[in-house]
Amino acid sequence: MPILQKDSTAIWRKRTTGQALALWAVWLLGVAIFMYCWQVISNATTWFFVWDAPRIATDIWTRATPPKWEYITQLGRPIWDTLNIATLGTLIALVLAVPVAFLAAHNTTPSKMFIRPIALLIIVSTRSINSLIWALLIIAIIGPGVFAGVIAIAIRSIGFCAKLIYEAIEEIDETQVEAITATGASRWQVMAYGIVPQIMPAFAGVAVFRWDINIRESTVLGLVGAGGIGLQLSASLNVLAWPQVSLILLVILVAVVLSEWVSAKVRGAII
């Protein structure tokens, strides 16, 4: 225990002198890095606009309130599209994520040397790229529209769903699998009767959880042209129709809160 001797009395201290110095050096380095980052950001900023910001903010606020309520009649179809993008995207992602998860899990993968790294690469690469970027890419390939949004959401969700499902597969109770194997079941029967029932609750939870996130993400996909309510948002922003923008933002907020509530209810019922 580090102790400081001072006037022949021992005082308890948390760290030795060396540890304290090392900690101090780490903090100094961290603060230096942060100050450098801040300087770069500051140099790239037109500070005149920033000092002007409160005036602009109040200006936008007065333009945006009250929301243009009668515009909501034109939002029905975009909301339906958004719901479709999220739901169909989640469905496709789940169909694709299950085989990937089985290939990635330690205890079910056919080959730890070759197939598992490929499955893990699919998981990490689909997960690390945002759905908006996937949407940009899909639009460049198959053109704008709701279908592009569905595909973008599907690709983006594969990694997330597969990761959570494969973690559930790795945590299963092996004795049940062994019991099914002992009855002489084939490989597929073991999967259907030994593994699938055990991961079913996790699977349903992941599906609802991802659906909730996808509703959130599909509301903004329209900003790059992939359909849904985001198209209306970007159109209103482009013509500076702030009352419409505020109404759309309110609708998005309600949709997000509702989907989160539904997902929390369903997950509560499963677990």
Partner 1 sequence: MSAALQAKVGQQWKRPPFVRNATLRWTLIGGFVAYLIAAYFTIEVNWSRVYEGLDRGARFVLAFTSPDFVSRWTDIRDGMIESIIMTVAASVVGILISIPIGLGAARNVAPLPIYMICRGIVAVSRALQEIIVAILLVAIFGFGPLAGFLTLSFATIGFLSKLLAEDIESMDKVQAEAIRATGARWSQWIIYGVLPQVMPRLIGLSIYRLDINFRESAILGLVGAGGIGATLNTAFDRYEYDTAAAILIIIIVIVMILEYISGIVRARVQ
Q: Please give the residues from 223 up to 262 whose contact with partner 1 meets the rule CB under 8 A.
A: 223-224, 237, 249, 252-253, 256-257
SS3 183: coil
Count of alpha carbons within 13 angstroms of residue 42, beta-carbon side: 6
* Contact criterion met (CB below 8 Å) for 126 and 155: yes
Taking the least distance from each CB to partner 1, the nearer of 157 and 219 is 219
Taking the least distance from each CB to partner 1, the nearer of 10 and 32 is 32
User: Of 142, 174, 183, 264, which lies in the binding site for partner 1, with binding defined by CB under 8 A?
Assistant: 142
User: Of 21, 56, 95, 115, which lies in the binding site for partner 1, with binding defined by CB under 8 A?
Assistant: 56
> Binding to partner 1 by residue 146, rule CB under 8 A?
yes
User: For partner 1, which stretch binds (CB under 8 A), given 20-28, 38-46, 103-111, 182-190?
Assistant: 38-46
> Binding to partner 1 by residue 118, rule CB under 8 A?
no
Taking the least distance from each CB to partner 1, the nearer of 8 and 186 is 186
Residue from 146, 147, 269, 267 nearest 213 by CA: 267
Residue from 201, 133, 202 nearest 161 by CA: 202
SS3 139: helix
Q: If you write DSSP's letter for every residue of 194-205 in order, what string do you get?
A: IIHHHHHHHHHH
Q: Please give the residues from 176 up to 215 whose contact with partner 1 meets the rule CB under 8 A.
A: 193, 197, 200, 204
3-state secondary structure string across 50-116: HHCHHHHHHHHHHHHCCCCHHHHHHCHHHHHHHHHHHHHHHHHHHHHHHHHHHHHCCCCCCCCCCHH
3-state secondary structure string across 15-55: CCHHHHHHHHHHHHHHHHHHHHHHHHHHHCCCHHHHHCHHH
User: For partner 1, which stretch binds (CB under 8 A), given 41-49, 107-115, 171-179, 180-188?
Assistant: 41-49
Taking the least distance from each CB to partner 1, the nearer of 8 and 79 is 79
Q: How far, in whole angstroms, is CA 254 from its chain's centroid? A: 19
Taking the least distance from each CB to partner 1, the nearer of 85 and 103 is 85
Site residues (CB under 8 A) for partner 1?
30, 33-34, 37-38, 40-42, 44-46, 49-50, 53, 56-57, 60, 80-81, 84, 87-88, 124-125, 127-130, 132-133, 136-137, 140-143, 145-147, 150, 193, 197, 200, 204, 216-217, 219-220, 223-224, 237, 249, 252-253, 256-257
